[in-house]
Structure 1
């Protein structure tokens, strides 16, 4: 009599006597599966590797983090020492916001690998409010907008049913495409009016950074592959130093230690019109952040439900309130680091939480922060081009599960991409509209996302819209 077939661990016939096992997870830096039930998002990595990966996130977000205080401070007419204080306060608050979002407590924090930083959406309202009423009114409006965000978080958390794959994939694709001009500008030097913008030196540095990232990512293995962006940035910066393109002069002039003082500009002023303007900006931020939650959830293989959305938005609201107290601005997820999650394949939220701790340290030690600021923007731009494109590919992968033979789905995607790309192609398209309306329409991610939701509900209906791509989206 033939012996009964036995099963291997993977469930196929074989000689092992083990029954089919339950689902296992594999962390990106490990070469073998583990039966540990801990999801990779919640897994702790070895300390050395954890620190390297955290530094990678720090270098990617640093330029954007310090640029907003500089832009806002100069536009409002603040003194140099006040702008320096804004930068330190921003880095410190970024660290707090990142820890709230990644580690979380009670009903605060989505608990995903999301770096938090000041939102570019709020730059224009902050400048307008600051020029008209001063910094105390900026921070009064910021605190009010944070409270507003926390209050509406439970309501906004009910929108998941409006994000079937056809909407989610289109929105994530738009995030990546909308960021591409930013990466290209960085690669050229950052400021179009600068004398060296688009110079051979800047383009060379960007090409070296990009090439290093691609080679390491394509041929590297294990930790080296995971830190391809970090290594690429270090290689680019080393070459820039040899070319005399790095500036370490500010390292000598900055102080060793600084303390962030709450309400440094005086007690906040709660002007009704300023609050309204900032709350409109917060609605745009909420829409973009919700898309980021879904994007990172797909990348790390974590289901994002109503509760996770509400918890994440509460964290953004709380961080924004703290931002108003600590002389900074509204906070949200940084899309550049979303792209880094996709590219590195590292899913642990504790890596990003470590970045949060590093940001706290930089906020208290300005001299150390100046060292990181010495990296040329062209070097970051070279790496950013491929990171932002990785976000777009995540959206394409999700759309690959959508039935494009259904003409309605194709129309939803086409119209949403068309509307969302208007301001990417022509930034001044809505320039002559009213300020509040212009603020909303200027965000291509928001207009494209809203268009996708409305058209999907109109053409597919709520029930059919959920069935247009019932297959699970791929995990990066």
Structure 2
């Protein structure tokens, strides 16, 4: 790449394309983003208007954090195509805090603010762990991220968890229609149409679902046009030490998950992540969580759901995700618009989810193809055991139910289990280099070599 050539990650696209591709990213992550405030608000038995406010606050906070992550601000921001959203790892702890008779919603916000501030401070220390992530670990973790997300895509295709009509043939048929349409566009179209194949599939599926009577617009009619997201809307936060300790544990889990996700994105866009870049990205996880607590939202992390979209479309510009951040801020301030997006049924997203999440797993397999399994057969055991452990929470959600509830944030994260297993087994079988820089250089050399040997946009 010449010195005057703009890296695809920094490419400035025309406004129309930015908006279209940004909307595509928002549609992919929207269901996951609003699920956390919905679950927490319902568990705390909050009135519907307060739950609606939590959703607006969540979208607003996601947008702000996404802009900082993609564009950068001082020592914050990985400057890669990344979308921020509420982490599901915090749902269990937050419900436990919120339903505790001695605590409540304000303690959730207080612990979120404190955990975010502590996370910003701890980010450089977590960044030093990059030495423990050689290609065999990175490839394993990326594969488990994709395989874990497949559960989400499959449940979407069947109508969504909790849907009394789960598995309705009409849902499955429309999901298959969306999936088939995306594949047809990918096969026969080029350029911009191929870039927005997922968006076209979702819009076509939404129209088909509306025509067949599977879309409800009740929320659109009831939602106000404009909503103000004010800091500390519910009152000043409370800072309970035990609640803070719990949320800091959640931050550690999200840091490990984000490390694997950042390495995956760096691989996909051809800009390998070094320690300094990783720390900037992790700081935004902390800052996004801090902002979330201030604006009546919850812990934030970099969303894995959107990684697969990069592989499907081949669009690597971080400004696309920055545009998605602006759209999220707008949706947070205009609830009626947000409800229009919320009207897209889960099964419409299911067909797209299977493609995108499968792309993440495929990219992990691609990374593992660069690992030496011939002269270092122990690498096979590292991958085998780590993938198996990483899929435990997906295959058997109740596997750890007899263990202390306090360990739930750790044991119910397949990405964390896979990461811990792969790092530990790699250290046992292959050892760890004495300096972070040498391992980092080896990993980057491996990634660069792969890219130079004919890596092409995954379309």
Q: TM-score range by the shorter chain?
A: over 0.9
The alignment partner of 1:105 has SS state of: coil
Superposition deviation, residue 463 in structure 1: 3.6
Q: Name the counterpart of 1:391.
A: 360
The Cα offsets for residues 420-459 of structure 1, whole Å up to 9 and x where unpaired, read as: 1111111110011112223201111101111101111110
**1:448 matched to 2:418:** yes
Counterparts of 1:165 and 1:67 in 2: how far apart (Å)?
A: 33
Q: Which residue of 2 aligns with 1:151?
A: 121
More moved, 243-252 vs 270-279:
243-252
Aligned to 1:373: 342
Question: How far apart in 2 are the matches of 1:105 and 1:37?
Answer: 24
Kindly state the Cα deviation for residue 135 of structure 1 after the two structures are TM-superposed.
0.6
Residue of structure 1 aligned with 2:29, choices 50, 54, 61: 61
Q: Are the counterparts in 1 of residues 56 and 335 from structure 2 also a CA contact under 8 Å?
A: yes
Residue 182 of structure 2 is matched in structure 1 by 213
SS in 2 for 1:158: helix
1:1-400 mapped onto 2 (5 Å cutoff) = 23-24=1-2, 36-132=4-100, 133-192=103-162, 194-400=163-369
Partner of 1:471: helix, strand, or coil?
helix
RMSD: 1.5
Q: Deviations over 1:82-117 (max 9, x none)?
A: 000001111111110100100111100001100000
Quick one: distance in 1 between partners of 2:31 and 2:432? Answer: 41
Give distance in 2, aligned partners of 1:348 and 1:312: 16
Cα shift at 1:411 = 1.0
Q: By percentage of residues, which structure has more helix?
A: 2
CA deviations 1:388-424 (Å, max 9, x no partner) are: 0000000000100111112111111111111111111
Deviates more, 1:200-209 or 1:466-475: 466-475
Instruction: Indicate if the aligned counterparts of 1:401 and 1:469 stay in contact, CA closer than 8 A.
Output: no
SS of the residue aligned with 2:301?
strand
Match of 1:412 among 363, 382, 385: 382
Describe the SS at the equivalent of 1:221: coil
Kept in 1, the 8 Å contact 2:251–2:286? The answer is no
User: Deviation at 1:50?
Assistant: 1.3
SS across alignment from 1:304: coil
Report the Cα distance in structure 2 between the residues aligned to 1:80 and 1:242, rounded to whole angstroms: 28
Counterpart CA distance in 1 for 2:354 and 2:373 is: 28
- C-alpha change, 1:158 and 1:354, in structure 2 (3 Å) is same
Retained in 1: the 8 A contact 2:131–2:433?
Answer: no
User: Number of residues paired by the alignment?
Assistant: 443
Give 5+ residue unaligned stretches, structure 2: none
State the partner residue of 1:6. Answer: none
Give distance in 1, aligned partners of 2:12 and 2:335.
29
CA positional deviation for 1:170: 0.3
Pick closer, same or farther for the CA change 1:235–1:36 going to 2, 3 Å: farther
For the pair 1:471 / 2:446, whether they are aligned, the reply is yes
Structure 1 CA distance for aligned equivalents of residues 212 and 166 of structure 2: 16
**Structure 1: gaps spanning 5 or more residues:** 1-22, 25-34
Counterpart of 2:312 in 1: which secondary structure?
helix
CA distance in 2, matches of 1:470, 1:430: 39
Deviations 1:311-359 (A, max 9, x none): 1111111111110010000111111101111211111000100010011
Q: Does 35-44 or 119-128 show the bigger shift?
A: 35-44
